[in-house]
Amino acid sequence: MNANLKSEIKDIRGTTASYGNVTGKVRIILNPSSAKFEKGEILVTSMTRPDYVPLMKKAAAVITDEGGITSHAAVICREFKLPCIVGTKIATKVLKDGMLVEVNG
Catalytic residues, which ones?
Answer: 72
3-state secondary structure of 63: strand
Please answer whether residues 85 and 79 qualify as being in contact, where contact means their C-beta atoms are separated by less than 8 angstroms. Answer: no
Q: How far is CA 43 from the centre of its chain?
A: 4
Task: Kindly give the pairing relationship between strand 61-64 and strand 84-86.
Answer: parallel
Cα dist from 6 to 19, 53, 77, 83, 97, whole Å: 26, 29, 27, 24, 14
